[in-house]
Chain A
Amino acid sequence: MNRTTVWPALLLGLVALTGVSSLATGPMALDISNLVNPWRLTATEQLVLVHIRLPRTLLCLGVGAILAICGAIMQGLFRNPLADPGIIGVSGGAALGAAVSMVILAPFSALLPAWLGASVTSFMAFIGGLVTTLVVYRLARTTQGTSVSILLLAGVAIGALSGGVLGLLNYLADDQTLRDLTLWQMGSMAQSDPYQLALVLITALVLTLLLRRHAHALNALALGEAEASHLGIEVQSLKRRLVILAAIAVGVTVAAVGIIGFVGLVVPHLVRLVVGPDHRRLLPLSALLGAWLLLLADMLARTIAAPAEMPVGIITALLGAPFFLWLLLKQKRGLGLA
């Protein structure tokens, strides 16, 4: 096996293996051999497997891949290793949308049909994320095109503004709503419905299929905007498309599972440290590593304190950040900077 195939094969194998382990582990003891022979499972075991573990596993794959890809796209687009989907305001806007729904719309949720009531928060989160991103993008548009620095600064400003409004809503919320808001912001894989799962998987699929078209352009952009347009890339339309694509994709994940930090920021870094900056490899490998990391984190989240469950966002941060630091320090020594 040569260098170009070893990493994808390794990661694919890891994802498959962890996916199966994710189906096999949980607070409820299941005989692994029964996974191959589902007819030997009791009704409750089937329920646990089909309605709890399978959706979660698929959700982790989809959400992890989306977050990592979007992180890689943002970092490529802004040529800034600190960029992640949060930087264009998606997460802040989505949190704001969800908070508006929980604090202001909740009293009216009784008027809505039951099937809609539960997903109003998700819908508002999605709309919040999208609207914020569009506002940020709009602010960054100049006569000469989109300014990256204005985009980043506007993202910070709008993020602060939505944080302020969120604080105001926190103040207005009663204690229980406040608890809900806090828990929602930490993210959890436990609560999404089948429609949201389907949406996440379709988004992940579409995103992966669109990758190949954009990888080359992102590589060209790494040389600088002027250079990229000399190479025949329509930089402005590329930026617009990618920003909106990332906003929609991240919005979908936030709506489904809440805010999960760290994956979008760190996974592309890890991949770049190993295989280099070529987006044709960076994007698909990020997707695989993101999926794997989230699978692992979720498995820990639901077994570490069983029968209780921890918000997965806590685990991704606790698991990933020290590992990331270790890698950075190792890299520093390797570069002779230590």
Chain B
Amino acid sequence: MKTRGWLMLMLLSAPSMAAEPARLLSAGSSITELVVALGAQHQLVAVDSTSELPAGSELPRLGYHRQLSAEGMLSTQPSLVIGSEEMGPQTALSLVRQAGVQVEALPEAMTIAQLQLNIIHLGELLDRAPQAQALHEAVQQRAIALRAQPIDSPKRTIFLLLGEGNSVQIAGRHTLADSLIQVAGGMNPASTQVEGYKPVAMEALVAMAPEVILISRRHLTQGADTEQIFQQFPLLSHTPAAQHKAIVAINGKALIGGFGLSTLSEAERLQQDWLAPDNLALHSLTQDPLTPHAQTPE
């Protein structure tokens, strides 16, 4: 009886002893974000330069995810390379495959539905189906909550990429910023006019009469405020957004590499604080629009 107990114990523990944890290489910010959310962070051996890691963890950086080096990847001895479809170049990936490493490219998500598909696929790849299922459901709940807001007339919301000098680019359709605005329940007037990020004339921008203007947080250094932006782009103050001081700083990292969990968080914050039906009046009186909100993804 005693020996059988030992045998059982050994049999039970055998698989976990035999299966060496995969050495993961992740390229693409939204993919790395999912790896961390699925609790597989300890398996990561290297990430690309767009990936953000939780504070305190340091890993070798492979460079930009479209410009990976075959030998650089192999030098970290990965057993699985995951990334978005944008990962490349193909020559480097095929060399890594030749070395016997599994390479998986997930479609770049532009929608929550694709994000959810990626979660499930990633769960299978990482042997973490239960965690993936749980995350999938959490995302589902959040998506439902986002859609549940009763919005009679969606707020006209635009995303601006402010550059040096007077250069301003606006996010049109097929951009992640456009997806963000839609998911948050806003309406992007630029999406009917332009595709991708395009330089835009101030005049056209004023004509769009945006009620909320989103900009990347990167463009605001410490101490900078909306006033300085109006100084740099005086015509902006002729928009409804300026009258309500509704200029919102967005985490720029949430807008690259596909719709990810951080994009979802930004959409929630945007909806709660800015796009909900009666929020604008409140904000124009009280809150500093640029204060970043602590947002913890569940």
Chain A residues with a Cβ under 8 A of chain B: 26-29, 43-44, 47-48, 51-53, 118, 171, 174-176, 179-180, 183, 188, 190-193, 302, 305-311
Chain B residues with a Cβ under 8 A of chain A: 46, 49, 60-64, 66-76, 86, 89-92, 95, 98-100, 174-175, 195-199
**Contacts beyond the supplied A179-B64, A190-B69, A307-B69: 6 A-B pairs with Cβ under 8 Å:** A47-B98, A176-B66, A191-B92, A307-B60, A308-B69, A310-B63
What are the residues of chain B within 8 A of A180 when measuring CB–CB? Answer: 66
Q: How many whole Å from A115's CB to the nearest CB in chain B?
A: 12
Given contacts A180-B66, A183-B66, contact A29 B72 (CB under 8 A): no
Docked-complex contact A308 and B95, CB < 8 angstroms: no
A48, closest chain B residue (CB)? B71
Docked-complex contact B71 and A26, CB < 8 angstroms: yes
Pairs across A and B, CB under 8 Å, 30 listed: A26-B71, A27-B69, A27-B71, A27-B72, A43-B100, A47-B95, A47-B98, A47-B99, A48-B99, A51-B98, A52-B70, A52-B71, A174-B174, A176-B86, A183-B64, A183-B67, A190-B69, A190-B92, A191-B92, A302-B69, A306-B69, A306-B72, A307-B76, A308-B49, A308-B61, A308-B63, A308-B69, A309-B68, A309-B69, A309-B72
A190 to B94, CA, bound (A): 13
What are the residues of chain A within 8 A of B199 when measuring CB–CB? Answer: 171
What are the residues of chain B within 8 A of A188 when measuring CB–CB? Answer: 67
A193 to B94, CA, bound (A): 11
Partner of B75, one of A179, A183, A306: A306
B197, closest chain A residue (CB)? A175
Docked-complex contact B62 and A191, CB < 8 angstroms: no
What are the residues of chain B within 8 A of A175 when measuring CB–CB? Answer: 175, 196-197
A260 to B198, CA, bound (A): 29
Given contacts A47-B99, A51-B95, A175-B196, contact A307 B62 (CB under 8 A): yes
A40 to B237, CA, bound (A): 71
A305 to B61, CA, bound (A): 8
Partner of A190, one of B76, B91, B98, B174: B91
Given contacts A307-B61, A307-B62, A308-B49, contact A28 B196 (CB under 8 A): no
Docked-complex contact B75 and A28, CB < 8 angstroms: yes
A301 to B188, CA, bound (A): 43
What are the residues of chain B within 8 A of A307 when measuring CB–CB? Answer: 46, 60-63, 69, 71-73, 75-76
Partner of B71, one of A43, A192, A193, A302: A302
What are the residues of chain B within 8 A of A47 when measuring CB–CB? Answer: 74, 95, 98-99
B98, closest chain A residue (CB)? A47
Docked-complex contact A302 and B99, CB < 8 angstroms: no
A176 to B74, CA, bound (A): 25
Q: How many whole Å from B71's CB to the nearest CB in chain A?
A: 5
What are the residues of chain A within 8 A of B91 when measuring CB–CB? Answer: 118, 190-193
Docked-complex contact B95 and A118, CB < 8 angstroms: no
What are the residues of chain B within 8 A of A305 when measuring CB–CB? Answer: 61, 63
Given contacts A43-B99, A44-B100, contact A118 B75 (CB under 8 A): no
A179 to B198, CA, bound (A): 15
Q: How many whole Å from B172's CB to the nearest CB in chain A?
A: 10
Q: How many whole Å from B205's CB to the nearest CB in chain A?
A: 18
A175 to B72, CA, bound (A): 25
What are the residues of chain B within 8 A of A311 when measuring CB–CB? Answer: 67
What are the residues of chain B within 8 A of A176 when measuring CB–CB? Answer: 66, 86
Partner of A308, one of B66, B72, B90, B99: B72
What are the residues of chain A within 8 A of B95 when measuring CB–CB? Answer: 47, 51-52
Q: How many whole Å from A176's CB to the nearest CB in chain B?
A: 6
Q: How many whole Å from A224's CB to the nearest CB in chain B?
A: 48
A26, closest chain B residue (CB)? B71
Q: How many whole Å from B195's CB to the nearest CB in chain A?
A: 8
A190 to B75, CA, bound (A): 15
Docked-complex contact B62 and A29, CB < 8 angstroms: no
A225 to B69, CA, bound (A): 49
Docked-complex contact B72 and A302, CB < 8 angstroms: yes
What are the residues of chain B within 8 A of A48 when measuring CB–CB? Answer: 70-71, 74, 99
What are the residues of chain B within 8 A of A27 when measuring CB–CB? Answer: 69, 71-72, 75
Docked-complex contact A191 and B89, CB < 8 angstroms: yes
A301, closest chain B residue (CB)? B69
A291 to B60, CA, bound (A): 31
Q: How many whole Å from A53's CB to the nearest CB in chain B?
A: 7
What are the residues of chain B within 8 A of A53 when measuring CB–CB? Answer: 71
B85, closest chain A residue (CB)? A176
What are the residues of chain B within 8 A of A302 when measuring CB–CB? Answer: 69, 71-72
A183, closest chain B residue (CB)? B67
What are the residues of chain B within 8 A of A44 when measuring CB–CB? Answer: 74, 99-100
What are the residues of chain A within 8 A of B90 when measuring CB–CB? Answer: 118
Q: How many whole Å from A154's CB to the nearest CB in chain B?
A: 31
Q: How many whole Å from A118's CB to the nearest CB in chain B?
A: 7
What are the residues of chain A within 8 A of B69 when measuring CB–CB? Answer: 27, 190, 302, 306-309
Docked-complex contact B66 and A28, CB < 8 angstroms: no
